[in-house]
Chain A
Amino acid sequence: DMKVTQMPRYLIKRMGENVLLECGQDMSHETMYWYRQDPGLGLQLIYISYDVDSNSEGDIPKGYRVSRKKREHFSLILDSAKTNQTSVYFCASSSTGGITEVFFGKGTRLTVV
């Protein structure tokens, strides 16, 4: 069963708190991603991970960091969350970059108040 699982699905945090979003995949994919989705902006790439401890910044990495210690897990960390980080965050994975099918999780809706 090919799946990308995100936890939690919904999260409310206060400004300044730390946030941990977790993602797992069961397809042994090398490449994993974090995107955020905002109305009218589509999906914007935050970070891409090519494998364990091989992470690169995407288009909007400021205010975020990631951790990938196992191939099947990829975490997104917000240190001291800001209100403008309120968004829906999607984790995704693929076998080889963006040229094969990219599988997305169901998303985490984060609200920072």
Chain B
Amino acid sequence: GQQVQQSPSSLVLQEGENAELQCNFSSTATQLQWFYQSPGGSLVSLLSNPSGTKHTGRLTSTTVTKERRSSLHISSSQTTDSGTYLCAIENTNTGKLTFGDGTVLTVKP
């Protein structure tokens, strides 16, 4: 089945630094989403980006479909960005999302 690998597994930054998160997946995806999970568990969709580059606020996602990888860039990190960032791939034709294990981001003041 579809496999999703995220790196790094954890990342510690000083406030103001940039973060680069990676997601690699094993087979063709019709949809790719980046999520933020708060310490309380709520899942928030950040970007939906099956191909190309998308921006929203301080977030930029670049997905290279042929190479089966996506990145999430967080610029000028803030302490409130701390949490778990999850990459999820939707399997072609099934609608099933497969999640990576996530990157735990800690931004220190």
Q: Do A and B come from one complex?
A: no
A residues engaging B (CB < 8 A)? Answer: none
B residues engaging A (CB < 8 A)? Answer: none
